[in-house]
Amino acid sequence: MNSSTGMDADVFAQFLDQLDRYVRERLVPAEPEVIANDGIPDTLRQEMAAMGLFGLTMPEEFGGAGMNVSQYIETIHTLSYAMPAYRSIISINIGMVCSALKNAGTPEQKAQWLPRLAAGEIAAFGLTEPGSGSDSAGLQTSAVRQGNGYVLNGTKRYITNAPYAQMGLIMARTAKDNLPKNAHVSAFLVPLDTPGVSRGKSDRKMGQSGSHIGDLIFDNVFVPGDALLGGEEGRGFATAMQSLDNGRLSVGAASTGYARRMLDTATRYAAERKAFGEPIANFQLIQAMLSDSYAEIYAAQCMMRDAIAKADAGTKILKEAAAFKMFASEMCGRVADRCVQIHGGAGYLAEYEAERFFRDARIYRIYEGTTQIMQLVIAKQMLREFAAGGV
Ligand SMILES: Cc1cc2nc3c(=O)[nH]c(=O)nc-3n(C[C@H](O)[C@H](O)[C@H](O)COP(=O)(O)OP(=O)(O)OC[C@H]3O[C@@H](n4cnc5c(N)ncnc54)[C@H](O)[C@@H]3O)c2cc1C
């Protein structure tokens, strides 16, 4: 992640204020409709595009808002007070694909793709495969040179937006031998209407209705040479990992934003629900669950603000981003669990929001690197620093 001044601070403060109101007055009330249709209505998607949400981090000359890392992550934190589908539809564009294009794209690739993505064309990020997830460097999708381009073969699994994405940033193996494992992987910008690309059905999943994942299948898909990100073979894995740093901050912010919503919902319920002749909020064991949740959300927000300030200053935040993602996603799971508990029997019913908060939160501990992988990333970095005499 690069240091950047980002949007003017006053303009950004106004934007965040406006977004907060939009989230509470428009996106939250529309949630039942998103759930009923398992999708975001077109009108809302258009409104989100008109607000610039698909182009938050894209440079202004390409139609984006030019946000720096902290502005982007604060935006995700605010947006994620509403159900996760809203973040899901924009975050691949801005967090993953735009970040990869900005970091590694050629000027022509930026000019070709960034304005389209900023305008709301939906992107997919294809790293995971049937045989490789945490061990992402073990991917098998191949890209073999042919004439002035490459032929792609392989299957990508659990890909967010796969059923309707218009383009994909696809990781594929361009070499096999005598190279470190990661240097086999290159990244390709692929229009998903290219002959030979097909999509699996939208997978049924535990939560996060309104967002969709599925397979992307590449069967002898020819892409021209200029589809290779940055025009350089063997850089794809490094690019993917760099984008994941950004993605981890985004998942941490999403977990923290959604936990705020859960706590507000639990507090409201505790104040209204009566047992033994008084509001359950009067019971100290209920208060303990509320205050533990408040303290943990506050801790996650502090971690977030520290990590993003460092990112804006140009500091490498591998360890901080992993620690924030790990803490915030686990915290969100605990807050969701307490929210169910505070609701008692109502917490188990689909009629109340607590039940879906609980299901929605579960994925945050898994994607963009599981908690176990975050532990490994943090420890590896700590030991690297120790070996370098930094402790
Ligand atoms: C809703 C959803 C959306 C997704 N979106 C995308 C997307 O857009 N693009 C994309 O590329 N991928 C996406 N994914 C895939 C996601 O990133 C992977 O599922 C995740 O990284 C875990 O990989 P895996 O499922 O193969 O699990 P595995 O790697 O098989 O892990 C299984 C278990 O083993 C543990 N484990 C693995 N290795 C180790 C180790 N070395 N030490 C200790 N424990 C270990 C894991 O922590 C986990 O508990 C998505 C997944 C879901 C469910």
Exactly one of 74, 129, 355, 368 is catalytic; which is it? 368
Q: Indicate which atom in ligand 1 lies nearest the CA of residue 134.
A: 29
275 CA distance to ligand 1 middle (Å): 43
Encoded amino acid at 189, one letter: L
CB–CB of 113/189 below 8 Å?
yes
Q: Say whether 320 is catalytic.
A: no
Query: How confident is residue 3, by pLDDT bands cut at 50, 70 and 90?
Result: very low
Tell me the CB-side half-sphere exposure of residue 345, using CA atoms within 13 A.
1
Output the six-digit token pair for 379.
Answer: 């420890």
Q: Of the candidates 66, 87, 12, 69, which has an alpha carbon nearest to the alpha carbon of residue 306?
A: 69
278 has a pLDDT exceeding 50: yes
d(CA 112, CA 108): 6
| Helix 84-91 vs helix 236-272: crossing angle, to nearest 10 | 160
Pocket, ligand 1, Cβ cutoff 6 A: 92, 125-128, 133-134, 158-160, 205, 213, 363, 366-367, 370, 372-373, 376
Note the pLDDT of residue 263.
Answer: 98
Residue the block writes with tokens 């949007």: 7
Domains with residue ranges and CATH for the chain: 9-121 (1.10.540.10), 124-233 (2.40.110.10), 238-387 (1.20.140.10)
Query: Which has the minimum average pLDDT: 72-86, 171-185, 279-293?
Result: 171-185
Encoded amino acid at 331, one letter: M
Note the pLDDT of residue 1.
Answer: 40
Mark 24-60 as b/e (b = at least 16 C-beta within 10 Å).
eeebbebbeebeeeebbeeebbeebbeebbbbbbbbe
354: helix, strand or coil: helix
The region that residue 51 occupies, defined by phi over 0 for left and psi between -120 and 50 for alpha, beta otherwise, is: alpha
d(CA 186, CA 143): 8
Residue range 148-170: mean pLDDT, rounded: 97
391 has a pLDDT exceeding 70: no
Residue the block writes with tokens 């669990």: 337
Residue range 369-386: mean pLDDT, rounded: 96
DSSP 228: B
Encoded amino acid at 318, one letter: L
Note the pLDDT of residue 180.
Answer: 66
Note the pLDDT of residue 136.
Answer: 87
382 has a pLDDT exceeding 50: yes
pLDDT tens readout for residues 107-116? 999 999 999 9
The per-residue pLDDT of the chain, averaged, comes to: 94
Note the pLDDT of residue 256.
Answer: 98
DSSP 162: T
Output the six-digit token pair for 385.
Answer: 């620093």
d(CA 109, CA 118): 14
Instruction: Describe the chain by its helix, strand, coil percentages, rounded to 5.
Output: 60, 15, 25
